[in-house]
Amino acid sequence: MAKPRTCRVVCIHEFGDPASVVRVEAREVRPPGAGEVLIEMLAAPINPADINILEGRYGKLPDLPAVPGNEGVGVVAECGAGVEDLASGRWVKPPAGVGCWREALVAKAEDCIPLPEGMDTEQAAMISVNPPTAWRMLEDFVDLKPGDWVVQNAANSGVGRCVISIARHRGLKTLNVVRRADVRDELKAMGADAVVLEDEPFFKDVAAITGGPRPRLGLNAVGGESAGRLLRCLASGGTLVTYGGMSKQGFTVGAAQMIFADLRVRGFWVSRWVKEAPRQVVRDLFAKIAPLVCDGTLRVAVDSTFPIERAADAIRRASEGGRGGKVLFRFR
């Protein structure tokens, strides 16, 4: 029988200050059993949800001790008995919930998503959360047609940028709300149709921005007053989808907005969608997203990368504002 191998993991034993609670530890990784694969991780990003988990402030927290990291990319190093659709050397997206901040892991082969050859390592590591979140929100809540407008806050975030790229790919138009004026030209260059500042009264004259039609879909990652501004932009019968709460503040939907404007408020969590959707539907989604990543249509900005031994530094950087993109661990 093959012997377990040792790998390093980023682990937490308590919740608290993110950079203080992470530890780098050695763990044994057993050989893959029947229907399983051993994956050697290549890279994994640090997402806002990961930071919230380290703080103990996420909606669903893991049992401790835990290895965080809700997405990444790895290469199949070894296949267990009965694995036929994956081979050694194939790049894969590991299953959700396995904890990707580690050098190696074992997972069920049927739960891994094969990725095409030639993908950029860092972009492949970030394919599991931001792109499918943007894709499903644009697809599942409002029947949008080419030329329709979508309004979103946090437009400079990873999801926000994916919304801009996917919307442009589909012929949709985006009204993008940001907090920093210095990102306006950058977002316009990648396809944003309109970019406004959070503290501007843009909601008072949406028609002047869009040329007439009001957005029927709003995407909210902030909450608080920012979400209220998005609601004021929507057309009658429009829908506001909340997928994040950066401000950690709730928001109110007025009775008049619900009665006379028939506005709808929904929520979206991509982890739940992946868990509940049929396996083939999930695979089909990534089969649509992967080519857009490969040809550069869909890209998530990268700020910096860190080796696993500098976990605390990586977490500290990922927690800072004003970054130019995501922070990632690079394992190889």
- Give the separation between CA 70 and CA 50, rounded to whole angstroms: 7
pLDDT (0 to 100) of residue 323? 85
Q: What does the domain layout of the chain look like in residue ranges?
A: 5-126+301-330, 130-270
What global pTM score does this model have? 0.93
pLDDT, tens digit only, all 332 positions of the chain: 567 789 999 999 999 999 999 999 999 999 999 999 999 999 999 999 999 999 999 988 999 999 999 999 999 999 999 999 899 999 999 998 899 999 999 999 999 999 998 899 999 999 999 999 999 999 999 999 999 999 999 999 999 999 999 999 999 999 999 999 999 999 999 999 999 999 889 989 999 999 999 999 999 999 999 999 999 999 999 999 999 988 888 898 888 898 988 999 999 999 999 999 999 999 999 999 999 999 999 998 899 999 999 999 999 999 998 788 899 999 97
Backbone φ and ψ for 306, nearest 5 degrees, come out as: -135, 145
pLDDT (0 to 100) of residue 25? 97
| Residues with catalytic roles | 58
Beta-sheet strands, E only, within 124-220? 149-152, 173-178, 194-197, 217-220
pLDDT (0 to 100) of residue 113? 95
pLDDT (0 to 100) of residue 152? 98
Domain 130-270 coded CATH 3.40.50.720: yes
Of 72, 65, 92, give the one whose Cα is nearest residue 10. Answer: 65
| 166 token code pair | 């996917």
Backbone φ and ψ for 226, nearest 5 degrees, come out as: -60, -40
What is the DSSP annotation of 56-125?
Answer: T-SSS-PPSSB---S--EEEEEEE-TT--S--TT-EEEPPTTS--SBSEEEEEGGG-EE--TT--HHHHH
Asked if 5-126+301-330 and 130-270 have one fold, the answer is no
Of 131, 139, 53, 65, give the one whose Cα is nearest residue 93. Answer: 131
* 155 CA to centre of own chain: 13
Contact 8, 24 (CB under 8 A): yes
In terms of CATH architecture, what is 5-126+301-330?
Alpha-Beta Complex (3.90)
Of 330, 307, 318, 324, give the one whose Cα is nearest residue 47. Answer: 318
pLDDT (0 to 100) of residue 268? 97
pLDDT (0 to 100) of residue 2? 65
